[in-house]
C-alpha cells in the first residue's frame, strides 16, 4: 500500500471514491452530494488543488498489492495548522488501514504543525476516527458549497474548547403538548449541537415516546426523521445520526 502525492491522472478516481464515500457515510441527499462533487471535485477544482502550493493532496495507491489504483484520498490545507479538508476511502476497501495510513503520513509530513480537521456534520463516521488520533471537537461553523449551507465540526489536537453539552434552560418534569400534560424523561438525553434533547412521553407509564423537549430554548417543536436526526423548529438546535463503524479505519 503506497501513500503518494496525487497526480492529474488520479482525478477521475478521486471523484469516484468521493462519490461512493459520500453516499455510504454521509446523511446527504443525492442533490447535496452532486453539489459537493460539482463544486469541490470537478476536473477544474481538483486541478487547482493539485497546483496549489498551500494544499497537499495524498492518495493511497493499491496497485502494488493487486488493487485497482487509488483507494483513498486526503486533502490538507497548510497554514498555521495542517487542516484536513476531506478524507475519503473507497467503501469496498475499508478495514485495511487506508485512512490510518493517510493520517499517519500527514502527521509525518507536517510534524512541526498541529493537525486540525473540518468534518461535515452530516458525516456519520469520521469524528470518532479523528478522536482516536487525539483530535478533539473545538468548534462548529458553516460553509457554503454551491450556494448551499453546510454545518461543519472542527477538530484540533490538544485541549478541546467546546463547552459541555448541558441544558441552557431548566428541564421540567412535564410539558403541555397538544393540550395534554406529558412527562419528560430527565434522566436520559440525546446530545444536540447546542444543548441536549429530552424524550417527551405520551403518558405517565413512559412507554410510548411522544416527542422531544429542546433544552436550548424550551420548545417541543422538534422534528425527527428516519435517520434519527432531530431539529428544533424554534431555535435550530440539531442532533445528527451518530453511528460509528470502526471498519472505517
59 and 178 share one domain: no
The C-alpha cell that represents 230 in the structure block: 432531530
Is pLDDT of 69 > 90? no
Domain limits at 180?
174-239
19 and 142 share one domain: yes
Q: How far apart are CA 128 and CA 125, in angstroms?
A: 7
26 and 133 share one domain: yes
Pair 215, 234: CB distance under 8 Å: no
Average pLDDT over residues 5-26: 94
Name the domain boundary from 126, 159, 192: 159
User: How many angstroms separate the first and last alpha carbons of the chain?
Assistant: 14
16 and 137 share one domain: yes
% of the chain surpassing 90 pLDDT: 55
Is pLDDT of 62 > 80? yes
129 and 193 share one domain: no
Average pLDDT over residues 134-155: 86
134 and 181 share one domain: no
| pTM higher than 0.85 | no
Q: How far apart are CA 249 and CA 243, in angstroms?
A: 14
Pair 198, 185: CB distance under 8 Å: yes
Pair 174, 213: CB distance under 8 Å: no
Chain-centroid distance of CA 76 in Å reads 16
- For residues 153, 158, 161, 166, the Cα torsion angle rounded to the nearest 10 degrees is 80
Name the domain boundary from 105, 134, 159: 159
33 and 149 share one domain: yes
Is pLDDT of 246 > 50? no
Average pLDDT of the residues of the chain: 86
Q: How far apart are CA 109 and CA 115, in angstroms?
A: 11
Q: Is residue 14 part of a domain?
A: yes
30 and 143 share one domain: yes
34-61 pLDDT per residue, tens: 999 999 999 999 999 999 999 999 999 9
Confidence of residue 240 (pLDDT cuts 50, 70, 90): low
- Structural domain total, the chain: 2
Closest by Cα among 200, 203, 198, 197 to 237: 197
Residue count of the chain = 249
Residue of 248 and 214 predicted with greater confidence: 214
Q: So what's the pLDDT on residue 66? A: 66
106 and 200 share one domain: no
202 and 111 share one domain: no
Q: Is residue 19 part of a domain?
A: yes
Closest by Cα among 118, 19, 17 to 59: 17
Q: How far apart are CA 22 and CA 15, in angstroms?
A: 11
Q: Is residue 191 part of a domain?
A: yes
Q: Is residue 115 part of a domain?
A: yes
Average pLDDT over residues 86-107: 91
Q: Is residue 49 part of a domain?
A: yes
Name the domain boundary from 119, 134, 159: 159
155 and 193 share one domain: no
Q: So what's the pLDDT on residue 162? A: 44
203-220 pLDDT per residue, tens: 888 788 999 999 999 999
Q: Is residue 247 part of a domain?
A: no
Q: How far apart are CA 72 and CA 94, in angstroms?
A: 9
- Give, for 104, the enclosing helix (H) or strand (E): helix 98-109
Q: So what's the pLDDT on residue 55? A: 96
69 and 40 share one domain: yes
Pair 60, 3: CB distance under 8 Å: yes
Q: Is residue 167 part of a domain?
A: no
Residue 7: give its domain's CATH number. Answer: 3.40.630.30
Amino acid at each position: 500500500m503506497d501513500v503518494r502525492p496525487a497526480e492529474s491522472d488520479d482525478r477521475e478516481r478521486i471523484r469516484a471514491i468521493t462519490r461512493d464515500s459520500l453516499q455510504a457515510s454521509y446523511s446527504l441527499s443525492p442533490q447535496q452530494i452532486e453539489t459537493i462533487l460539482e463544486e469541490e471535485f470537478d476536473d477544474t477544482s481538483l486541478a487547482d488543488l493539485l497546483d496549489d502550493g498551500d494544499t497537499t493532496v495524498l492518495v493511497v495507491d493499491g496497485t502494488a498489492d493487486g488493487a485497482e489504483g487509488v483507494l483513498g484520498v486526503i486533502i490538507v490545507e497548510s497554514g498555521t495548522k495542517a487542516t484536513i479538508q476531506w478524507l475519503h476511502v473507497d467503501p469496498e476497501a475499508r478495514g485495511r488501514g487506508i485512512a490510518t495510513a493517510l493520517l499517519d503520513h500527514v502527521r509525518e509530513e507536517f510534524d512541526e504543525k498541529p493537525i486540525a480537521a473540518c468534518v461535515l456534520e452530516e458525516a456519520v463516521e469520521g469524528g470518532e476516527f479523528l478522536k482516536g488520533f487525539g483530535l478533539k471537537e473545538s468548534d462548529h461553523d458553516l460553509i457554503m458549497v454551491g450556494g448551499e449551507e453546510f454545518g461543519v465540526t472542527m477538530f484540533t489536537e490538544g485541549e478541546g474548547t467546546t463547552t459541555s453539552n448541558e441544558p441552557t434552560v431548566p428541564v421540567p418534569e412535564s410539558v403541555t403538548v397538544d393540550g395534554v400534560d406529558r412527562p419528560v424523561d430527565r434522566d436520559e438525553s440525546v446530545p444536540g449541537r447546542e444543548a441536549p434533547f429530552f424524550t417527551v412521553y405520551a403518558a405517565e407509564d413512559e412507554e410510548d415516546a411522544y416527542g422531544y423537549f429542546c433544552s436550548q430554548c424550551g420548545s417541543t417543536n422538534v422534528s425527527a426523521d428516519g435517520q434519527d436526526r432531530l431539529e428544533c423548529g424554534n431555535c435550530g438546535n440539531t442532533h445528527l445520526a451518530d453511528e460509528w463503524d470502526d471498519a472505517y479505519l
